[in-house]
């Protein structure tokens, strides 16, 4: 059974911008709150998580791997 929800285009620029922007903003949020940690291990961990989130957001917006062809039919 096909529905409108299943048939929608998930790879349009607006969809990539919204989801990638959310990941990018989450990375900035984590980076901002990592400043409250006083020990180096906590800061390094939070900086790493923030970096990964910003990188994933950027790759989603630019349609780079691992997101390329993720929602296209085979």
CA distances from 30 to 53, 55, 59 (A): 9, 13, 18
Structure tokens at 9: 């285009």
Q: How do residues 9-51 score in pLDDT, each as one tens digit?
A: 667 888 889 999 999 999 999 999 998 888 999 999 999 999 9
Q: Is the peptide bond before 28 cis (omega within 30 degrees of 0)?
A: no
Q: Quote the pLDDT of residue 49.
A: 97
Q: Over 60: is that where the pLDDT of 7 sits?
A: yes
pTM: 0.78
* Cα atoms in the Cβ-side hemisphere of radius 13 Å centred on 49: 12
Q: Over 50: is that where the pLDDT of 74 sits?
A: no
CA 9 to chain centre: 18
């Amino acid at each position: 059974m096909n529905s409108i929800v299943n048939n929608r285009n998930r790879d349009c620029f607006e969809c990539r911008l919204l989801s990638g922007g959310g990941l990018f903003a989450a990375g900035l949020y984590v980076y901002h709150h990592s400043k409250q940690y006083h020990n180096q291990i906590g800061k390094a961990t939070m900086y790493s998580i923030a970096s990964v989130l910003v990188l994933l957001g950027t790759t989603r917006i630019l349609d780079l791997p691992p997101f390329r062809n993720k929602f296209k039919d085979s």
